[in-house]
């Protein structure tokens, strides 16, 4: 740094100015600030070069002190009656051993009547520890859904040692949130949510929680990534903030703070082969948590938008088959007969490209975008159908209502056909007969062409098409027998198509999937 400063002597520094600049460099601890000082002395505008990085904080002590009182420990206990695995001996009426066996089997040895459940059955108590934080001084506490689970006894433990019983206001397993309420005789220390959308990769963050039951523990790090999908995570309704601030078991439900003391995330998961922190933790962003918390407080449950489609991702082969140019959007693999998409005219095989003005980059985007939309809203949906973009307007239903609806009723059974074996695309196929329907457990309402053999080392085998699978459509046209299947494939080859898009139903699956096979 001193060498760079000396190089600025050509800009007309006097000896006194050079001496003053050197003293400034020695007194300033952070490189970025020193560079800014030298530039100002030399008359060089800061805007002429890259922005100077914000210096690392000397200490997190002031920040931690200002918010730690709002961070709590959560103790959740579940008490269930033990199931008796040993049968009760059958004794004759009036047996002198009756009282002995009643005492032993109903209470258990050494229990002395403690822990008795309904019907004098012994009880088992399991508990978990987690973290949470107060967002309203009246007693509203936020934590993870998995921290409380189905607990029937939840206690919130404050930093001053107070313990208050909590009422569960509402839970949302989809993004793993729970809202609790406690009653306090005095206002509680509360923290506010910040705008997580303004956070950037590299920003400093601080986590406070209850790792391994140790109590209020402060860790710090940076935001490592944003909009992160967690591998194998069941939820498709959240994209997470990734941080290297140490998060361990027990941190779940605790807050992730920005440097202004605002909560920008709720710590919910770690990625670790050992179960301990390896510097990869995930937090639900405040921008996704706040609407859910508002709904839980207002209704005691969530109210997400519902489109009523089953979707899958678009790969290279499917994109080519549908004329998309590149993989994008969400491919509609099926329509819920009682869902909003059906009356709006959305069909299986459509690719949803845009929903309510928001681009759908891949299938993971759609559930989150739809779920955040208001129930009952009329939404424009742009789809690609047979190479053309069209717009449909859908009046959104409520996801929670859709999940309660019964699955579509089955239609009439297909008429039996005389078996006719054909070969195409590395498969042998037959019409569906009663014998094949029973043999492969094909449902009565399924119509199409059943695969009776898949040749090894073919694309069909690579795409996991198996014996017993039923091909329902070829390039979005139904096929009812092997002749129709082979004719459709031949027609696609004459059109110069490079691949064929098949709609395939497996006996092991409730829903069909699209598979693209090369025609070359």
Say whether 361 sits in a helix, a strand or coil: coil
The number of beta carbons lying within 10 Å of the beta carbon of residue 276 is 13
State the DSSP code for 344: H
Return the exposure string of 119-156: e unless at least 16 CB atoms fall within 10 Å of the residue's CB, then b.
eebbeeeeebbbbbbbbeeebbbbbbbbbbeebeebbb
User: Distance (Å, rounded) from C-alpha 323 to C-alpha 519?
Assistant: 15
Closest among 244, 231, 242, 240 to 279, alpha carbons compared: 244
Return the exposure string of 40-68: e unless at least 16 CB atoms fall within 10 Å of the residue's CB, then b.
ebbeeeeeeeeeeeeeeeeeeeebbeebb
Q: Which two tokens stand for residue 452?
A: 């009776």
Closest among 73, 435, 419, 64 to 252, alpha carbons compared: 73
Is the four-CA dihedral 499, 503, 507, 511 of positive or negative sign? Answer: positive
**Quick one: CA torsion of 113, 116, 118, 124, rounded to 10 degrees?**
-160
Distances (CA, A) of 16 to 9, 13, 371, 441: 11, 8, 65, 92
Marked catalytic residue, from 172, 176, 350, 356: 176
**Quick one: CA torsion of 243, 246, 249, 254, rounded to 10 degrees?**
-60
Marked catalytic residue, from 131, 224, 252, 516: 252
User: Distance (Å, rounded) from C-alpha 399 to C-alpha 396?
Assistant: 9
Say whether 69 sits in a helix, a strand or coil: helix
User: Distance (Å, rounded) from C-alpha 77 to C-alpha 68?
Assistant: 24
User: Distance (Å, rounded) from C-alpha 470 to C-alpha 60?
Assistant: 61
Say whether 354 sits in a helix, a strand or coil: strand
Strand ranges (E), 373-432:
378-385, 388-395, 397-398, 422-424, 427-431
Marked catalytic residue, from 75, 128, 131, 146: 146
176 is catalytic: yes
Q: Which two tokens stand for residue 291?
A: 């609407």
User: Distance (Å, rounded) from C-alpha 43 to C-alpha 21?
Assistant: 13
Active site residues: 146, 176, 252
């Amino acid at each position: 740094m001193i060498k760079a400063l000396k190089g600025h002597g050509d800009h007309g520094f006097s000896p006194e100015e050079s001496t003053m600049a050197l003293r400034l460099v020695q007194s300033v601890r952070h490189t970025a600030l020193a560079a800014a000082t030298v530039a100002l002395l030399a008359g060089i505008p800061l805007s002429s070069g890259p922005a100077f990085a914000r210096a690392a904080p000397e200490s997190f002590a002031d920040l931690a002190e200002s918010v730690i009182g709002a961070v709590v420990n959560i103790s959740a206990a579940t008490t269930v009656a033990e199931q008796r695995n040993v049968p009760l001996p059958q004794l004759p009426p009036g047996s002198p051993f009756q009282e002995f066996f009643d005492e032993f089997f109903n209470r258990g040895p050494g229990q002395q009547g403690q822990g008795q459940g309904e019907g004098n059955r012994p009880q088992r108590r399991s508990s978990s520890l987690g973290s949470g934080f107060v967002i309203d001084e009246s007693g509203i506490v936020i934590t993870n859904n998995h921290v409380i689970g189905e607990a029937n006894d939840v206690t919130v433990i404050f930093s001053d040692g107070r313990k208050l019983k909590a009422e569960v206001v509402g839970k949302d397993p989809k993004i793993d949130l729970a809202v609790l309420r406690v009653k306090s005789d005095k206002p509680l220390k509360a923290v506010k949510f910040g705008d997580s959308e303004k956070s950037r990769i590299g920003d400093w963050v601080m986590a406070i929680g209850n790792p391994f039951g140790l109590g209020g523990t402060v860790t710090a790090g940076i935001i490592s990534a944003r909009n992160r999908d967690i591998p194998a995570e069941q939820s498709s309704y959240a994209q997470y903030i990734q941080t290297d601030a140490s998060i361990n078991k027990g941190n779940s439900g605790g807050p992730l703070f920005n440097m202004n003391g605002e909560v920008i995330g709720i710590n919910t998961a770690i990625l670790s082969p050992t179960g301990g922190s390896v510097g990869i933790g995930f937090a639900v962003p405040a921008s996704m948590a706040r609407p859910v918390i508002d709904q839980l407080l207002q209704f005691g449950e969530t109210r997400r938008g519902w489109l009523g489609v089953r979707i899958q991702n678009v790969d290279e082969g499917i994109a080519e088959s549908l004329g998309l140019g590149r993989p994008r959007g969400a491919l509609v693999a099926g329509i819920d007969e009682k869902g909003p998409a059906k009356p709006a005219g959305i069909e299986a095989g459509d690719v949803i490209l845009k929903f309510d003005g928001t681009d759908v980059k891949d299938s993971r985007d759609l559930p989150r975008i739809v779920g955040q939309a208001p129930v009952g809203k009329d939404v424009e949906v742009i789809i690609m159908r047979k190479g053309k973009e069209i717009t449909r307007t859908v009046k959104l239903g409520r996801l929670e209502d859709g999940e309660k609806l019964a699955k579509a009723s089955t239609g009439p059974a297909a008429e039996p056909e005389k078996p006719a074996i054909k070969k195409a695309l590395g498969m042998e196929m037959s019409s569906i007969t009663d014998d094949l329907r029973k043999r492969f457990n094909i449902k009565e309402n399924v119509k199409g062409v059943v695969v009776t053999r898949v040749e090894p080392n073919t694309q069909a085998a690579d795409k996991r098409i198996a014996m017993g699978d039923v091909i329902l459509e070829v390039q979005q046209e139904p096929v009812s027998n092997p002749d129709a299947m082979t004719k459709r494939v031949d027609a696609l080859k004459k059109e110069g198509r490079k691949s064929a898009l098949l709609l395939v139903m497996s006996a092991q699956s409730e829903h069909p999937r699209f598979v693209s096979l090369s025609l070359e």
